[in-house]
Amino acid sequence: MKSKSPDRLSCRKGDREIYDLLKKEELLKGKPLIDIFMMALTTGYKEKHRVKLDTKDGLILLYHVPTKLKSIMKAIAIAEEEADLNVLLDEAKVYSIAEEYAAGGIKILKTKVLGGEFGSYIKKLESELVDEFEKIKK
Amino acid sequence: MIIDYIKLKNYRQYRDQTVNLGAGEKGKNIVIIEGRNGAGKTNILNAITWCLYGQEFHISKSEGLPIVNTSALNDLGVNEKTTVEVEIQLISNDKNKRYKIKRTVWIQKSEKDDAEQISDRYLSNQSDGTKLEVFVQIGKDIKGEFRDPAHIVQRLLPEKINEYFLFDGERLDNYFKEESGGIIKEAVFKISQLDLLDRMIDHLNKTKDEFLRSSEGLTPEIKELEEKKTALLDSLEKMKNELGKQSNAKKEAKEHRNEIDKKLRESPRNIKKLAEEREGLEQDLLKLESELEEERKNRSDYLIEMSPLILTHEAINQSWRIISKQEEAGKIPPPIAKNFLERLLEKGVCICGTDISKKNEYRKNVELFLQSCKDIGNISGEIIELCGYLRGLIDESSDFRKKQIMYGKRVEDLEEREKKNNERLKRIEEEIKGCDVKEIKRLEEKLEEYNNEISNVDQKIGEIKVKIDNMKDERLVQIDRDLNKELKKEEKFQELRRILSFCNSVLDIANKIKTEIMGEIREEIEEKTKKQFFDIIWKKVTYKEVKIDDNYNFLVLDQTGRKALGTLSAGERESLALSFMAALNTVSGFDVPIVIDTPLARIDTEERQDIARSLPEYFKDTQVVILVTGAEYTPAVRKSLSKNVCKEYKIKFEEYKKGSEAKVVSYEK
C-alpha cells in the first residue's frame, strides 16, 4: 500500500545527538546536516547495515535536499527493490530506505570520524574511495 | 669827454646838417637845442645812439617813416641809391684824443617809392648792413680801419649804460615807481660793470652743469658692491665652516663605521641576512600552514562530497541502466498513460469519439487496455529526469581520480614546501646558534646608518664645494670686476667732485664779490644821490634821508622817518632822478657827455626854474646837451641857465612838397 509522501528526512530518536556531535567536529564543521546524513547513508549502505526506525526524529526538510542527493537516494531504493522502478511510485519508501541505511551508518560514521587519529578518517575515506573507484573502472 | 660835433646826412629830418656842440669856456658846459615837438629833437638823440650802436632807442617802433630823409628819398629815381650817414666826433677832456665815429647805411628807392635798406657787400662791416667807421686821432696821428670798430665804441661809451647818459627826461620818473627795485638794481649792476664777473659766473654755472651731466652714471656703487662682496665673503666663510663641519661629521661617521665593522668581522658573516631570512621563512611557514589547511579542507570537502557518489556508484549505475533499457525499449515513457485511459473511461467518450459510457464492446476493449498499463507510466517524466541526474552523477564520478590527485598534489606540494622551509630554518638556527643576533642586527643596522650618513655627508660636501666654486669663480670674480670698474669710475667721480667743488667755491666767491661790489656801488650811488639831492633841494628840513634799500628800492624818509617818496613834488622827483643819474654818471667812471631829452616837460613853471637853476650843479665838468621845447625853455629858465650855456640852438623845421627838412641853427639867428 502506497504510503503518504513525507516532507522530511528523519533519524532515530537519540541519533540526533550524534548528528550534532559530528557537526561540531573540525572535519565537518560548517557542513549542512544533509551532508552528514548522506555520509551516514553511504556508510550504512556500504556496510549493508539497514536499521528500521522504531522512533523518528525529523532531521531535514526534503525541500532543502538537493535533487542530486535525492537522485542517489532513489538509485539506492531501486537497487534495494531488485531493480523495480515501481518503488519510485512510493516516495515514502524511497526515503524510508535512505533513513534506515543512515540510521545503520551513523554510529559507524561516528566511530570512524571520532575514533581514529586526527586526519585518519579522511585518509581512510580517500583510500576507500580510490579503491572503490578502481573497482568501478574495472 | 665831449661831443665835438654831430654830422647828419639824409638822417630823418636832417638832410645835411652839422651841429657843433664843442665846449666853450670853463663852466659853460651846457648846450641847448630847442625845438617844437616833432621838429627833430629826439632824433638828435636817436642819431647819436644809431651812430654809436646802430639802434634808435628813443623812437617809437610804430613810427613808420624811414631812416632816410623823405626829401632825399623823393629826389631819388626808382632803384637809385643814396646813403644815410651820422658822424660824431668826441674829444677827450684833455683834448689830446679825438674819436671820429661814423655810421653809414645804403638806401635804394623801390618801385613803390619806399626806402629799402641795402647792404654794400664791399663796404658794409656790420651785421645790420651798415658800415661803422672809427678814427682815432692822438696828436697829429690818425688811426682808422679798425677790425672791430664797434668794440672801440663799446669801450668808449658802453651801450649798456647809454641810458644813463643819453636819456629821455620824461622817463626819469620810472625810477620811483613801485617795484622799481629791479630797474635800480639793473642800473647799479650795469654801472658796476660786472659783466665780466657775471659772464664768469654764467660760464661757471654752465661748466658746472656740464660736469654734473657728465657725472651721471658715474655715481659709484662701490659701497653697495663692497657690501655685496663682504656678504659674499661671509657666505663663503660660512660655507667653508659648514664644509669643515661636514668633513668632521664624515670623519666621525667613518670612525664609528670602522669600529662596528671590526666588531661585526668577529661575528659570523651575514648574520643579519640570516636573521632576516629566518624571519621571512617563519612568515612563509605561517602562510604555508594557512594555505595547507585550506587545501586540506578543500581535499576533504571534495572527498566528503564525492563519497556518496562513489560508494553508491553500483546502485546509481544499476538504476541508470534499468531506466535506460526501459527507455530504449520504449516503455518509458509508455505509449498511452494509464491515467489518460482512466480519464477516457470516466468521461465515457473515446479519443475517436466512440461512446464508451455504457458497458459495450468498445468500453471493454479500453478497460482491457487499461489493465495492461502499469502505474509507473504515470511518473515516466520523473523517471526520465532521474535518469538524467544519474548520468550526471556517473559522469561526475568519472573525474574523481583526476581531481582527487590534483587536490592531493596541491597538499603534497605545500607539505613539501613546508618541509623545505622547516629544514632551512633548522640550518639557520644551527648557524646562528650562540650568537647575539639582536646585537649583531643592531650593529649591522647601525653600520648601515653610518654608511648612509657618510653618503649623505659626501653629497652635502659635494654640493658645498660646488657652491663655493661658483661663489669664487663667478660671483666673486664678477663683483671684483664690477668693483674695479666702479673704482675707476670713482677716480673720475672724485675728479669731478673736485672740479665741482672748485666751481662752487669760485661761484661763491664770484657771487660774493658781485654782491659786495654791487653793495659798494649801491652805497656810493646812494651817498652821491643823497648829497646831490640835499645840496640842491630847498626843503632841506622836510626830508631827512635818501636811501636805496637792500632790494634796490629808493626810499626818501621825512624828518619823522616816514616814507615820503610818494609825497615828493614833480620837481623834487626830477631833482632826485637827476641826482641819481648824476650819481650813476659819476660812479660809472666813464667820462661821457650827457644828452637829456625834454628834462623839464613834466615840471611846473615855478619848479622848472628851480631845476634849471640847479641843473648845472648836477653835472659839473660834464658836457650836457639839453633838448628842450620852447615851453620848457622859458626866458626864466634860459636866464637861470645862461651862465652855464655855451651854445644855444633852435631847430627850424620846414616842409616842402618833396618832403620835410630840419635845420639846427644858432639861437640868435
**pLDDT per residue over B609-666, tens digit each?**
777 777 777 777 788 899 998 888 888 888 888 888 888 999 988 887 777 788 999 8
**Does any CB of chain B come closer than 8 Å to the CB of residue A28?**
yes
Residues of B with Cβ-Cβ distance to A129 under 8 angstroms: 303, 306-307, 310-311, 400, 404
Residue of B nearest to A113 (CA): B304
**Which of residues 5 through 24 in chain A touch B, CB cutoff 8 A?**
none
Best to test chain B binding among A33, A108, A127, A133 (most B CBs inside 10 Å): A133
Closest CA to B41 of B503, B654, B649: B649
Residues of A with Cβ-Cβ distance to B400 under 8 angstroms: 129, 133
- Nearest-neighbour CA in chain B from A127: distance (Å): 10
B355: DSSP letter? B
- Nearest-neighbour CA in chain A from B260: distance (Å): 52
Give the nearest partner residue to B319 out of A41, A79, A122, using CB atoms.
A79
Residue of A nearest to B303 (CA): A126
Residue extents of the structural domains in chain A? 8-137
Residues of B with Cβ-Cβ distance to A27 under 8 angstroms: 300, 304
Residue of A nearest to B387 (CA): A71
- Nearest-neighbour CA in chain B from A8: distance (Å): 19
- The answer to whether the Cβ–Cβ distance between A75 and B318 falls below 8 Å is yes
Best to test chain A binding among B389, B406, B407 (most A CBs inside 10 Å): B389
Residue of A nearest to B382 (CA): A88
pLDDT of residue B181: 67
Residue of A nearest to B309 (CA): A72
pLDDT of residue B88: 94
- The answer to whether the Cβ–Cβ distance between B400 and A133 falls below 8 Å is yes
pLDDT 10s digits, A107-133:
999 999 988 776 788 889 999 999 999
Give the percent of chain B with pLDDT over 70: 96
**Three cell numbers at B59?**
623812437
Residues of A with Cβ-Cβ distance to B376 under 8 angstroms: 85-86, 88-89
Give the nearest partner residue to A71 out of B374, B375, B389, using CB atoms.
B389
pLDDT of residue B268: 67
Q: Is B133 helix (H, G, I), strand (E, B) or coil?
A: strand
pLDDT of residue B539: 65
Long-range contacts of B430-437 (CB under 8 A, 24+ apart): B431/B268, B431/B274, B432/B268, B432/B271, B432/B274, B432/B275, B432/B278, B435/B267, B435/B268, B435/B271, B437/B271, B437/B275
Residues of A with Cβ-Cβ distance to B389 under 8 angstroms: 67-68, 71
Q: Assess contact for B9 and B626: CB atoms under 8 A.
A: no
Closest CA to B104 of B226, B9, B237, B5: B9
pLDDT of residue B316: 94
The pLDDT confidence band at residue B62, using thresholds 50, 70 and 90, is: very low
- The answer to whether the Cβ–Cβ distance between B375 and A89 falls below 8 Å is yes
pLDDT of residue B591: 78
Interface of B with A (CB under 8 A): 296, 299-300, 303-320, 322-323, 326, 332, 374-376, 378-379, 382-383, 386, 389-390, 392-393, 397, 400-401, 404, 408
Position with higher pLDDT, B558 vs A23: A23
Q: Assess contact for B476 and B229: CB atoms under 8 A.
A: yes
- The answer to whether the Cβ–Cβ distance between B318 and A83 falls below 8 Å is yes
Report the mean per-residue pLDDT for chain B.
84
pLDDT of residue B345: 84
pLDDT 10s digits, B290-345:
999 999 999 999 999 999 999 999 999 999 999 999 888 888 887 777 788 888 88
Give the percent of chain B with pLDDT over 90: 24
Position with higher pLDDT, B669 vs B386: B386
- The answer to whether the Cβ–Cβ distance between B319 and A75 falls below 8 Å is yes
- Most distant CA pair in chain B, distance: 209
The answer on pLDDT for B467 being more than 50 is yes
Give the CA dihedral B221, B222, B226, B232, nearest 10 degrees. Answer: 40
Q: Which helix H or strand E contains B4, and what residues bound it?
A: strand B2-11
Q: Which of B3-7, B134-138, B487-491, B514-518 has the highest mean pLDDT?
A: B3-7
pLDDT of residue B306: 93
- Nearest-neighbour CA in chain B from A86: distance (Å): 6
pLDDT 10s digits, B242-293:
999 999 988 988 888 888 888 877 776 677 788 888 889 999 999 999 999 9
Residues of B with Cβ-Cβ distance to A125 under 8 angstroms: 303-304, 307
pLDDT 10s digits, B83-125:
999 999 998 877 778 899 999 999 998 888 888 888 777 888 8
The answer on pLDDT for B540 being more than 80 is no
**Does any CB of chain B come closer than 8 Å to the CB of residue A71?**
yes
Residue partners of B165: CB distance under 8 A and separation at least 6: B157, B585, B590, B592, B593, B594, B595
pLDDT of residue B456: 92
Closest CA to B43 of B664, B666, B665: B664
